[in-house]
Structure 1
Amino acid sequence: MIQTQAFSQTNPTVKLFVITNKNGVCAKITNYGAILTSLKLPLKSEDREVVLGFDSLEDYQSEVYLKDYPYFGAIIGRFANRINQGKVTIAGKGIQLPTNHGKHLLHGGHSGFDKQIWEAEILSESKLQLSLHSKDGDQNFPGNMKINVIYELNNDNELAIYYSATCDKTCPINLTSHTYFNFTGGKENILNHELQIDSDKIIETNYELIPTGNFAEVKNSTYDFNSKKKLNRDIAIIENYDDCYVLKTEGETLMKVAELYEEKSNIRMDISTDFAGLQVYTGKFINVERNDKFGPFSGIALETQDFPDAPNQTNFPHGLIHPGEVYEHQTRYQFHF
């Protein structure tokens, strides 16, 4: 069942869509930024909130939130993660994209998909489609790009996100959901959560998190999550995970790639995807002023996506979309509780 509610005191075009399955799992999505604002699981003790988000459009547009903008729950595009100095070359032509993170492009620029109002269509009792037309020259990205994102909440307690896009010019593309998870309902940070990732390599980056073009083996290192381990085990050494894990999907095959588990709540989330990478960000720099609930390590972002800076890395796949192609990916989050 999908219900439609108001989400703003001032903008009637921004709505909240509430999807509830037969088990009482409830997902809330707004057409502003295609944001997953809430995901509640019906535990015996309470309906447990397991993602970070707000209750109104005004909260997402407030100065205190945007100052250290953590992109809670948003769909990111046209290009998630980083592009080195915001520069790409397509067919021999250099293109300068916005540099909104120091001298680099991050998560689509100053006004990416996360800040746009999407068209919404209820497809069924469990499916919501959000659509966006990004015009040629939008933040200097080439081509008219059409994007569809479908959220589906099924009765197997699985939230699926389906991505598709076309463009009439060759253009960088990398879409993701920037949802943060915390299975304690905000009572604790995420450092006692246990994470497992089926990955042998991460993308090597410099100190600004720009890829070097190389891959680093994780076996027996502090980056190794092939066996489930608590996030706090190596955090004193790492300080903060913000790394792209290379998945065995090869960007084509849907498969289970990761698990997140929290012992006290006994909540486990399985992540399946056909994206090539999984960006793990443990949220050290989350800082929403005057809101104690949203501080460092208050959530972990597990962003299924393709590789950062892919248009500038000859050995990275999936960095561009070409005319006549259809960009298609999906990610599924299944909850056990």
Structure 2
Amino acid sequence: MIQIQAFAHKDNHIKHFVLTNNNGICAKITNYGAILTSLTLPLESGEREIVLGFDSLKDYKNKSYLKDYPYFGAIIGRYANRINQGKVRIDGKTIQLPTNHGKHHLHGGYSGFDKRTWDAEIVGKSRLQLSLLSMDGDEDFPGNMKLTVIYELNDENELAIYYSATCDKTSPINLTSHTYFNFTGGEENILNHELQIDSDQILENNTELIPTGKYLDVKHTAFDFRAQKKINQDIKAVENYDNCFVLKTEGKTLKKVAEVYEEKSNISMEVSTDFPGLQLYTGMFINIEGHKKFGPFSGLALETQGYPDAPNQENFSHGFIHPGEVYQHQTRYKFHF
């Protein structure tokens, strides 16, 4: 079932879409930024909010939130993650993208898909379709890009996100959902959550979190999540996780790639995707004035996506879309409680 609610007092084009399954799980999505604003589970102790987000558009545009912008729940594009110095070569020409994160490009630039008003259409009892046209030159990206993102909440307790895009010029592309999870409902941080990631390697980064093009084995390192462990077990060695894990999803096969569990709530979440990478971010730099529960480590982001800076790395695939191609990926979050 999908209900439509107002989300902005002065803008009738921005709505809140409430998806509820037959088991009582409720997902709320706004067509501003295609943001997943809320996801609640019906526990015996009461309704439990498990993602970071706000109840109104005003909060998403608040200066204290945008100051150290954590992109709560938004769909990110045209290019999620980082592009080194914002430079990309296409057909022998260098394109300069906005450098909105120091000297690098991050998450689509100053006004990415996270700040756009998407067209919304209910396409089934459990499916919400959001569409966007990103014009040629948008944030200096080439080509007219047409995008579709579908959210689906089914009765198997899965929240699925389907991504699709075409473009009439060769363009960098990397879409993701920047949702943060916290199964304690904000009562505690995420450091005691247990995490398992089916990955033998991460991308090596330089000190500015730009990939070097090399792969590092996780064995005997703080990045080894092949067996489930608490996030805080090895975090002192790295201070904060903000790394891309190499997934075993060759051939665009939908596969379970990660699982999160929190003992007190007895909530677990399986993540399945056909994306090649998973960016783990433990939220050390979340700090929103006036919102005590939105501080460091208040949320865990598991961003299924392509590799950061792929357009500049010869041995990374998935960095571009070409005319005539269809970019398609999906991610599913399955809940047990």
One fold, TM greater than 0.5? yes
> Residue type of the partner of 1:277?
G
Aligned ranges 1:219-230 → 2 under 5 Å: 219-230=219-230
Q: Paired residue for 2:234?
A: 234
Which has the larger displacement, 4-13 or 178-187? 4-13
User: Displacement of 1:250 after TM fit?
Assistant: 2.5
> Residue type of the partner of 2:81?
N
1:175/1:197 CA distance change after superposition, 3 Å: same
> What does the per-residue CA deviation read over 1:91-118, in whole Å, with 9 as the maximum and x for residues that have no partner?
1010000000000000000000000000
User: Displacement of 1:11 after TM fit?
Assistant: 1.3
User: Displacement of 1:10 after TM fit?
Assistant: 1.6
Q: Paired residue for 1:254?
A: 254
Task: Report if aligned partners of 1:251, 1:306 keep a CA contact under 8 Å in 2.
Answer: no
User: Displacement of 1:9 after TM fit?
Assistant: 1.4
> Residue type of the partner of 1:116?
R
Cα root mean square deviation, aligned: 0.5
Distance 1:292 1:61 in 2: 18
> Residue type of the partner of 1:31?
N
Structure 1 position 334 matched with structure 2 position 337: no
Aligned ranges 1:51-70 → 2 under 5 Å: 51-70=51-70
Q: Paired residue for 2:115?
A: 115
Q: Paired residue for 1:283?
A: 283
1:251/1:57 CA distance change after superposition, 3 Å: farther
Task: Report if aligned partners of 1:128, 1:150 keep a CA contact under 8 Å in 2.
Answer: yes
Task: Classify the secondary structure of the residue corresponding to 1:139.
Answer: helix
Q: Paired residue for 1:184?
A: 184
> Residue type of the partner of 2:104?
H
Distance 1:163 1:191 in 2: 30
> Residue type of the partner of 1:63?
K
The answer for unaligned runs of 5 or more in structure 2 is none
Q: What is the number of equivalent residue pairs in this alignment? A: 337
Task: Classify the secondary structure of the residue corresponding to 1:232.
Answer: helix
Distance 2:296 2:10 in 1: 31
Aligned ranges 1:44-193 → 2 under 5 Å: 44-193=44-193
> What does the per-residue CA deviation read over 1:123-164, in whole Å, with 9 as the maximum and x for residues that have no partner?
011000000000000011000000000000000000000000
Structure 1 residue ranges (4+ consecutive) displaced by more than 6 angstroms after TM superposition: none
Task: Report if aligned partners of 1:251, 1:275 keep a CA contact under 8 Å in 2.
Answer: no
> Residue type of the partner of 1:271?
V
> Residue type of the partner of 2:192?
N
User: Displacement of 1:12 after TM fit?
Assistant: 1.3
Normalising by structure 1, we get a TM-score of: 0.99
Distance 2:165 2:12 in 1: 27
Give the fraction of aligned pairs with identical amino acids, expressed as a percent: 74
User: Displacement of 1:220 after TM fit?
Assistant: 1.8
Distance 1:287 1:147 in 2: 31
Distance 2:330 2:187 in 1: 31
Aligned ranges 1:179-218 → 2 under 5 Å: 179-218=179-218
Task: Report if aligned partners of 1:251, 1:276 keep a CA contact under 8 Å in 2.
Answer: no
> What does the per-residue CA deviation read over 1:239-289, in whole Å, with 9 as the maximum and x for residues that have no partner?
100000000002611100000000000000000000000000000000111
Structure 1 position 17 matched with structure 2 position 10: no
> Residue type of the partner of 2:301?
A
> Residue type of the partner of 2:41?
L
> What does the per-residue CA deviation read over 1:56-115, in whole Å, with 9 as the maximum and x for residues that have no partner?
000000001000100000000000000000000001010000000000000000000000
Distance 2:156 2:232 in 1: 31
